[in-house]
Amino acid sequence: MDPLPLSALNDHLYCERRAHLKFVDGLRGTNEHTLIGDLAHAAVDTPGYEHRAGWELLRALPLFSDTLGLSGKADLVEVRRDPNPPSGSQPLAPGSPLPIAAARPVEYKKGPARRWSNDHVQLCAQALCLEEMFGLRIESGLIYHAASAKRDEVVFDDPLRALTLATLDALRTTLARPTAPPAVLTPRCDGCSLRGVCLPEAAAAPALAREVRALFEPRNYA
């Protein structure tokens, strides 16, 4: 079974139809929101590392989880290394990096914090991958909002972890369908890059036509 991309979790919570159109039908779209998002990621999409305030910054770090069947790339992972490895551990070869004692993923988003939980689930999924990769517990991560230049902490508590795993199961069910779920016109459609191919207005038109016809149908008030 091929691993699913981490970003698909975000798409699925945003709109199940969008996830199917992207990851089964292979459709992609571009609008002002995707272009601004690409610019926001430009500073962190080049692999590399640096140090800041005691943290080592790993940019564009590949992520994977064989257990969950996920793969992708973190915008940024901040790690602290342990200068005093536990006694009895394997001695390090000269020049080898110190073991990682703490880590937290950082996701870059173009706009302000949103009402929906899709960004939190995507970040939590990154943490689950890092836990498997590094063999440690990750308590929290950060979402950097380019519009406000602020970072919000996201705590990976039990409810968020459970929601992330449930979303992964639901995503697999959605992607296993032979056809995409039906279109539903919602406020989220306004910012969707696939609106031009999804055509949620067309799905809403029959219901709207029925409502208009009902206004002119004769009624018996007797």
pLDDT tens digits for range 112-158: 666 668 999 999 999 999 999 999 999 999 999 877 888 899 999 99
Answer yes or no: is pLDDT of 84 > 50: yes
**Alpha-carbon distance values, 192 to 11, 54, 80 (Å):** 10, 39, 37
Mean of per-residue pLDDT scores for the chain: 81
For residue 71, the 8-state DSSP code is E
Neighbours of 165 (CB within 10 A): 15
Q: How far is the C-alpha of 193 from the C-alpha of 118, rounded, in Å? A: 16
Distance CA 125, CA 147 (A): 24
Is 62 within 8 Å of 126 (Cβ atoms)?
no
| pLDDT exceeds cutoff 50 at 167 | yes
Return the bridge partners of 46, or none: none
| pTM of the full structure | 0.78
pLDDT tens, position by position, 168-186: 999 999 999 999 999 888 8
Specify the amino acid at residue 97: P
**Cβ partners under 8 Å of residue 208, min gap 6:** none
What is the bridge-based pairing of β-strands 48-52 and 55-65?
antiparallel
Q: Cα(14)–Cα(188) distance, rounded to whole angstroms?
A: 8
- Contacts of range 118-123, beta carbons closer than 8 Å, 24 or more positions apart: 118/9, 118/10, 118/11, 118/12, 118/13, 118/14, 119/10, 119/143, 120/154, 120/160, 121/9, 121/10, 121/13, 121/160, 121/163, 121/164, 121/167, 122/6, 122/7, 122/9, 122/10, 123/154
Q: What domains are there in the chain, each with its CATH number?
A: 4-181 (3.90.320.10)
pLDDT for position 214? 58
Least confident of 22-26, 64-68, 111-115, 156-160: 111-115
